Amino acid sequence: MNNEHLVLSQVSIDFPTPTGPFRALDKVNLKISKGEFVSIIGHSGCGKSTVLNIVAGLYQATEGGVILDHKEVNQPGPERAVVFQNHSLLPWLTAYENVELAVKRVFRGKKSKAEMKEWIEYNLTLVHMEHAMHKRPDEISGGMKQRVGIARALAMEPQVLLLDEPFGALDALTRAHLQDSIMEIQADLGNTVIMITHDVDEAVLLSDRIVMMSNGPAATVGEILSVNLERPRNRVQMTETPEYMRCRKAVLSFLYERHGKKQAPEDTEKTAAISQEDTSSETPNNETASNSANSQVISMPPLQSKAS
Amino acid sequence: MNIDIKQWANTLLVPFIGIVLFLGVWQLGAPKVVTSLGAVPGPVEVLQQFGGLVDEHNEARAKEQAFYERQEKRNAKKLEKDPNAVVKIRSYTGKDTFFDQILTSLITVLTGFILAAFIAIPLGIIAGLSQTVYSALNPLIQIFKPVSPLAWLPIVTMVVSASYVSQDPMMSKSFITSAVTVLLCCLWPTIINTAVGVANISQDLQNVSKVLRLSWWTHVRKIVLPSAIPMIFTGLRLSLGIAWMVLIAAEMLAQNPGLGKFVWDEFQNGSSNSLGRIMVAVVVIGLIGFLLDRGMLTLQKYVSWDKSAALR
């Protein structure tokens, strides 16, 4: 397999602060091959969303760069579609129109009107949203909104699909459904996917490789773990396999034994950085969402218990 | 049940009591203020004056009707005698009644306001999208915003007199002067509010737009405008309120035949009815201002995508 589809080399980023530049990421190196599903996991504030935003082109790396298919990434574009944590659907458009906006942008001149309509409907069906196609975001549930967000991203036929904590704001059951959907879709279409998550089980279930990030400031790739579980994966049966337990243990021990969150006194500088990052990139309720997601990981997944 | 009564009391009964109390204080207090034109009229006298204005209006309409009938008969006779005769049709040139003046005022204010909106909304959008444009515009807005219409009026009058020269003018100069003065005074709230609304579009939606690499025009149409609609309307409502207030002053000085001129003429008239008639104008001006604001709210409800949003 070609291991050079998406390359992050020596990616570092400084955010300006009143007290001088703050280094959020330091020399992140990562190579992702075509069709691979990679998760990035780490504590909140470690800069994993920043990595994704750099790949998306929403942030510019201060040093180093991202190369997709031998071309440097320096601005956002539909070939790197993002599924945002807060769905980011336009509230004044229906599900169909939201997808249509993306499809019209990407396939203008390449598809006829009828083909576009068919393609929009196909993608909404893919995420099981065919029954609520013409509803507006405020008329559908959080999980459905996220499905539409995924359909919008898939409809762009991206080379890389970027998922920014896509299930973070959802309840455990809905999350399990959507994880299954994502697995199916990825098996069908063979997309290259990068997913940001806090959830250890989610990472093990979905990924080919899990990238574990060290804590900021100057966060970087700590370890990369390959998940050698056969696909298609079944979330219930899988939990009993030794490979699953090995992966889970590896991630947990990385996160809580070697890179556990440091205590208050040392933390001041970092929290400043987190709030800085939040104001520049993320919505306000992101922090609370990530906190609750974090505590779920620690107190063990409600997802598994409900699903089994 | 109990809640229904409470709600009913709050929406109808309490405002009604407030109005009655106000009218009572007015009726009792007004006769104590004596001017050279007699005592200030109370609500009862004002109501009488209103009746008088309605009668005058009906009389004028009857006269106009009669005038046209006479003219038609005369012309018919002429044509009977000689089918090739040239008939003259003259329009009636009676004095404008109070209600004609209300109509003139409404047309003038809406002309000024709509023109202002067409300038202010695009400017506000551009200023909201670009920090540079905003920084360039902001000092100008801050300086011109507090300028009184009375200061603009002489300049506008001179400019209109100099530039609007035509043998057969479609609109009178006083109309244009008043409308332009309204425009100059009500631009600012819409520009400021639109700019703020546009600048505060959620970062998430802006990211969507960036990832899709939407064109500038699509970005404005699909993302900027719908998000900024509430703020644009806040600005428009403030602007319309100012426009209506400015108009009365502008009409007084520009002698545009509207409510402002009515008030000024009555003041110059100095009859025993004048104070009462001016009071009628005050109440009518207030009511129309209120209705204009309600009209904007209705328009906002119609235009806005979020029908559930509470508008007040």
Q: What is the pLDDT at residue B72?
A: 87
Measured between beta carbons, the chain A residues lying within 8 angstroms of B223 are 90
Query: If you average pLDDT over residues B258-283, what whole number do you get?
Result: 89
Please give the mean pLDDT across all residues of chain B: 89
Whether residue A84 and residue B204 make contact (CB cut-off 8 A), yes or no, is yes
d(CA B149, CA B159): 15
C-alpha neighbours within 13 Å on the C-beta side of residue A212: 23
Provide the domain count of chain B. 1
Which of A82, A57, A222, A225 minimizes the C-alpha distance to A165?
A82
Say what the pLDDT of residue A3 is: 65
For the stretch B137-147, pLDDT in tens is: 999 999 999 98
Residues 6+ apart with CB under 8 A from A207: A37, A38, A39, A195, A227
Residue B304 to residue A200: CA distance in whole angstroms = 43
Q: What is the pLDDT of residues B218-262, one digit of tens each?
A: 999 999 999 999 999 999 999 999 999 999 989 888 888 889 999
Q: Which domain holds residue B199?
A: 98-304
The residue among B208, B211, B221 with the most chain A CBs within 10 A of its CB, best to mutate, is: B211
Q: For residue B152, is it within any domain?
A: yes
Residue B17 lies inside a defined structural domain of this protein:
no
Q: Which residues of B touch A102 (CB under 8 A)?
A: 212
Give pLDDT tens digits along chain A (308 positions).
456 789 998 889 888 888 888 888 888 899 999 989 999 998 887 888 889 999 999 998 888 889 998 888 888 988 899 998 888 899 999 999 999 999 998 898 888 999 999 999 999 988 888 898 999 998 898 888 988 998 999 898 888 999 998 888 788 888 888 888 888 888 888 889 999 998 888 999 999 999 998 887 888 888 888 888 888 888 888 888 888 889 989 999 888 887 765 544 444 444 444 444 444 443 444 444 444 444 333 333 443 333 33
Contacts with B305 from chain A: Cβ below 8 Å: 91-92
Tell me if B72 is assigned to some domain.
Answer: no
Tokens encoding A206? 């979905």
- Residue A133, classified by CB atoms within 10 Å of its CB into exposed (0-12), middle (13-18) or buried (19+), is middle
pLDDT at B289: 94
Q: What is the pLDDT of residue A281?
A: 40
How would DSSP label each residue in chain A? Answer: --TTSEEEEEEEEEEEETTEEEEEEEEEEEEE-TT-EEEEE--TTSSHHHHHHHHHTSS--SEEEEEETTEE--S--TTEEEE-TT----TTS-HHHHHHHHHHHHHTTTS-HHHHHHHHHHHHHHTT-GGGTT--GGGS-HHHHHHHHHHHHHHT--SEEEEESTTTTS-HHHHHHHHHHHHHHHHHH--EEEEEES-HHHHHHH-SEEEEEPPSSSB-EEEEEE----SS--HHHHTTSHHHHHHHHHHHHIIIIISPPPPHHHHHHHHHHHHHHHHHHS-THHHHHHHHHHHHHHT--HHHHHH-
Predicted pLDDT of residue B9: 81
Residues A76, B207: C-beta atoms closer than 8 Å: yes
Q: What CATH code would you report for A6-79+158-307?
A: 3.40.50.300
Chain A partners within 8 Å of B204 (Cβ): 84, 86, 88, 283
Q: Quote ipTM for the complex.
A: 0.76
- Check if B205 contacts A (Cβ < 8 Å): yes
Is A91 in CB contact (< 8 Å) with chain B? yes
* CATH number, domain containing residue B272: 1.10.3720.10
User: Which residues in chain B are closer than 8 Å to A107, comparing Cβ atoms?
Assistant: none
Residue B203 forms contact with A (CB below 8 Å): yes
CB pairs under 8 A between A and B: 58
Instruction: Give the closest-approach CA distance of B143 to chain A in angstroms.
Output: 32
Contacts of A49 in chain B (CB under 8 A): none
Contact A58 B211 (CB under 8 A): yes
Predicted confidence (pLDDT) per residue in B220-229, tens digit: 999 999 999 9
Residue B138 lies in a domain: yes
How much is the pLDDT for B310?
Answer: 59
Q: Do B211 and A86 count as a contact with CB atoms less than 8 A apart?
A: no
pLDDT digits (tens, 9 = 90+) for B164-199: 887 777 788 889 999 999 999 999 999 999 999 999
With CA atoms as reference, the chain A residue closest to B201 would be A90
Banded pLDDT at B209 (limits 50, 70, 90): very high
pLDDT at A175: 86
Question: B 33-52 residues with CB below 8 A of A?
Answer: none
| Predicted pLDDT at A263 | 45
Q: What are phi and psi of A262, to 5 degrees?
A: -70, 160
Smallest CA–CA distance from B303 into chain A, residue: A92
B96, amino acid identity: D
Range scoring the smallest mean pLDDT among A198-202, A205-209, B25-29, B34-38: B34-38
Which residue in the set B213, B218, B308 is minimally distant from A77, CB to CB? B213
Token couple for B305: 């995508």
Residue B196 belongs to some domain of the structure: yes
- What element of type H or E holds B38? strand B38-39
Bigger pLDDT: A209 vs B10 = A209
In a domain? residue B57: no
Taking alpha carbons only, the member of A35, A1, A69 closest to residue A188 is: A35
With beta carbons under 8 A apart, name residues in chain B contacting A86. Answer: 204
Amino acid making up residue A116: M
Instruction: Give the pLDDT score at A275.
Output: 45
Q: What six digits make up the tokens of B167?
A: 């043998």
Rounded alpha-carbon distances, angstroms, from residue A30 to A210, A222, B120 = 11, 11, 50
Q: Is residue B195 part of a domain?
A: yes
pLDDT digits over B300-311, tens only?
888 887 766 656
SS3 call for B35 = strand
Distance, in Å, from the CA atom of A295 to the CA atom of A237, rounded to the nearest integer, reads 25
Residue B233 lies in a domain: yes
Cα B19 to Cα B283: distance, rounded to the nearest angstrom: 13
